Structure 1
């Protein structure tokens, strides 16, 4: 049973609104890139990349539809979680006075994680198509390193900001 916490309506911050636009645009870009390149794609496309960013497994071009589907489900599910910050996990020092600060920080972590993952999925799909078409050599390890670093920064920054709430 969840502890009784205030259920507050707190407007999204500018960064959350902007991140949602980027996340939704990434889903749209992913889908459109698949549609526009579908007929040009060979029968097999990369389905997995190793740590060096090289394709090491191949499958049907229909496998390209998996990441957009996951991105849509992720976006919807995490959007629901985002709208219920009172149900997130908080330290015992949560009070009615500091709840708005905790809720905003927790919601931003969920929002930014959702949208960074969506952008990362779009990057993987687009790079997979480019590899399949012979226009790229691999995933491009630098891009993945940047995504994981941004994700780590989002989570660590949010946790640090929450630790400073009195």
Structure 2
């Protein structure tokens, strides 16, 4: 029988969690307060260069926001059960705390990056603005750079 592992949140976790939650609540309030002022047709898809390539009704924003909240809540739930994570390294009694702490950092930091990405996209959608050619490369570098950093740290936990 596998034991339940609890990785306590430290200050860095709490700051990243707080920033992510503040972004989500802030953007959700922005949508509620500004809903009547948003145009009926808004950009609903962007190409790799950040240019608008599909327009849709503003009601489609609600789908995006619901998906965003569900994703955030599911990741938050998974974050609480490190024993179900695919660690990529053999977890032993000697390295368990380091492995799970490293993975928690990775999960929390990736959740913040993706949350900031959604927040930026949703605000740009409501303003009918393109994302800019820089957006996709920067997002990909942040996500894969963050993952690479934590995976390298994880491999060193052996």
TM-score normalized with structure 1 length:
0.87
1:53 to 50, 54, 63: 50
Structure 2 portions without partners, runs of 5+: none
- The separation in 2 between residues aligned to 1:97 and 1:141, in whole angstroms, is 46
1:126 to 118, 123, 136: 123
The equivalent of 2:18 in structure 1 is 21
1:78 to 72, 75, 80: 75
Q: Does 1:159 align with 2:156?
A: no
- The separation in 2 between residues aligned to 1:20 and 1:101, in whole angstroms, is 20
Offset at 1:129?
1.1
- Superposition pairs for residues 25-40 of structure 1, below 5 Å? 25-40=22-37
- The separation in 2 between residues aligned to 1:47 and 1:91, in whole angstroms, is 36
Aligned length: 158
TM-score normalized with structure 2 length:
0.91
* Superposition CA RMSD, Å: 1.7
Structure 1 portions without partners, runs of 5+: none
- The separation in 2 between residues aligned to 1:126 and 1:91, in whole angstroms, is 36
